[in-house]
A and B are shown apart, each in its own frame.
Chain A
Amino acid sequence: MRDSGRPEPPTVVVLLAPGGAHDAHALRQVLAGLEEEGVPAAVETAAAHDCVALAERAAERSSLEVGVGIAADGVCLTHRALHGRPPLEHLLDPVVASRARCLGHDAARLVTGIALKLPAG
Chain B
Amino acid sequence: MMSILKRSAADLGRAMAAGELTSEEITRAFLEQIEALNPTLNVFLAVDAESALAQARAIDARRAAGEDLGPLAGVPIGVKDNFCTTDFPTTCGSKMLDGWIPPYDSTVVTRLREAGLIIVGKTNMDEFAMGSSTETSYFGATRNPWDTDRIPGGSGGGSSAAVSSYMVPIAVGSDTGGSIRQPGSVTGTIGVKPTYGGVSRYGLVAMASSLDQPGPVARTTEDAALLQQIIGGYDPHDSASINQPVPDLLTASQADDLAGVRIGIVTEFQGEGYEPGVLERFREAVEVLRAAGAEIVEVSCPAFAYALPAYYLIQPAELSSNLARFDGMRYGLRAGDDGSTSAEQVMNLSREEGFGREAKRRIIIGTYALSAGYYDAYYGSAQKVRSLIQQDFDNAFGQVDVLISPTTPTVAFKIGERTADPMSMYLADLCTIPSNMAGNASASFPAGLSEGLPVGLQVMAPPMEDARLYRVGGVLERALEAQWGGPLLDQMNQIDGSKAVSA
A and B together in one complex: no
